[in-house]
Amino acid sequence: MKFILIGLAILVIIILISGLKFVPQASEFVVERLGTYSRSLSAGPNYVIPFFEKIVKRVSIKEQVVDFKPQPVITKDNVTMQIDTVVFYRITDSKQYTYGVERPISAIENLTATTLRNIIGELELDATLTSRDVINTKITAILDNATDPWGIKVNRVELKNIIPPREIQDSMERQMKAERERREKILQAEGEKKSQILVAEGEKESKILKAEAEKEAEILRAEAEKQAMILRADAVRQQKILEAQGEAESIQLVQNALAESLVKLNQSDPKENVIALKSLEAFAKAADGRATKIIIPSEIQGLAGMVTSIKELAANSVQQPAPPKK
């Protein structure tokens, strides 16, 4: 009997311990009691009454990503394309997620496909290829509103691939190639234009600089000639000044010499014969000039006559023969 009680006690302990549940972080457990919803267990240690309560669903409340396969859609201009989407969602209410809809991921996929067909059906091909942000925003708003009763929050929806038909792709490739060639030609033309403009500007600046250099050279040459003429004029003026000063000094020296000779002559008390002789020397110097008329003072005329008489007497005495010797 004792062993039976011990065994029952151990069994009770095991049953009680089995009701202890540890919920991981970012998770919630949905608990039912006797087949009806009881509560949702949050992260951490929790206790479930054995045999009366059980965990029916383990829910992750982290943001999740689901990639749906490509869906065929038709544009407004009747072009069939394949578009696959990526949905980012998070479970906000584990009770509504468990009891709100059967197979919620499949429901989101079908809802995404129908919404995408409705939106793309209102757009043409070109608008579809260039309006990804608009399409993403519209799908996100519609899905978020539709999945709110299911306890699901759709954060965003992205169009992963837009695959048009093969012939459309070939046409787009040819169009893109033509566009690239057109842009290339435009860029080449703009490059050549800029190159020609730069060359023309370079030639213009070169001519301007050359003209300015020639102008400055002419100005420098003119200034140099002007300075040379000024220097030559100064040299001539200085030369004339020096010559005039030399002549003045020479005249001054002559005058001083004459004055000194007169002073000395007066001091020596010369005789009349000496004065007459000096006069004759002065007359001889005057006669050597280019004057055609010479006025001879009377004193010099008398002196000249005396000199002539003396010259004749000397000549006669030379011509007379000597007397014969006895």
pLDDT value, residue 318: 45
Q: What are the C-alpha distances in Å from 242 to residues 230, 233, 257, 283? A: 18, 14, 22, 33
In the three-class reduction of DSSP (H, G, I as helix; E, B as strand; rest coil), residue 10 is classed as helix
- The confidence score (pLDDT) of residue 237 equals 86
Assess whether pLDDT exceeds 60 at residue 203: yes
Q: Quick one: how far is CA 282 from the chain centroid?
A: 96
> Mean pLDDT over all residues of the chain?
81
Where does 19-124 have alpha helices with state H? 94-99, 104-120
- CB-based contacts of 121: which residues, under 8 Å, 6+ apart? 73, 74, 75, 76
Query: What integer pLDDT is reported at residue 29 of this predicted model?
Result: 93
Structure tokens at 195: 């190159």
* pLDDT tier for residue 325 given thresholds of 50, 70 and 90: very low
Choose the weakest-confidence range: 136-150, 184-198, 306-320.
Answer: 306-320
Average pLDDT on 246-260 reads 80
Task: In the chain, list all ranges with CATH 3.30.479.30.
Answer: 64-164
pLDDT band at residue 31, thresholds of 50, 70 and 90?
Answer: very high
Average confidence (pLDDT) over 105-110:
91
Examine the pLDDT at 291 and tell me if it is beyond 60: no
- Give the mean pLDDT of 20-31: 90
Confirm if 19 and 46 have CB atoms less than 8 A apart: no
Looking at per-residue pLDDT, the higher value among 91 and 12 belongs to 91
Span 117-161, pLDDT tens digits: 999 988 888 888 888 889 999 999 999 999 999 999 999 999 988
Give me the mean pLDDT over the 262-287 stretch.
60
> Using an 8 Å Cβ cutoff, are 20 and 44 in contact?
no
Task: Inform me whether the pLDDT recorded for 184 exceeds 60.
Answer: yes
Q: Where is pLDDT greater, at 126 or 219? A: 219
Q: How far apart are CA 26 and CA 44, in angstroms?
A: 10
- As a whole number, mean pLDDT of residues 94-99 equals 91
Q: Could you tell me the pLDDT band of residue 289, with boundaries at 50, 70 and 90?
A: low
- Under a CB-based contact definition with an 8 Å cutoff, are residues 326 and 306 in contact? no
Statement: 64-164 belongs to CATH 3.30.450.40: no
Q: What percent of the chain has pLDDT over 70?
A: 80
Confidence bin at 287 (pLDDT 50/70/90): low
Q: Is the pTM here over 0.75, yes or no?
A: no
Average pLDDT over every residue of 211-238: 89
Given pLDDT bands bounded at 50, 70 and 90, which one contains residue 91?
A: very high
Residue 326 confidence (pLDDT): 39
Between these two residues, 291 and 242, which has the higher pLDDT value?
A: 242
C-alpha dihedral over 180, 186, 192, 193, to 10 degrees? -160
Q: Can you give the pLDDT at residue 169?
A: 76
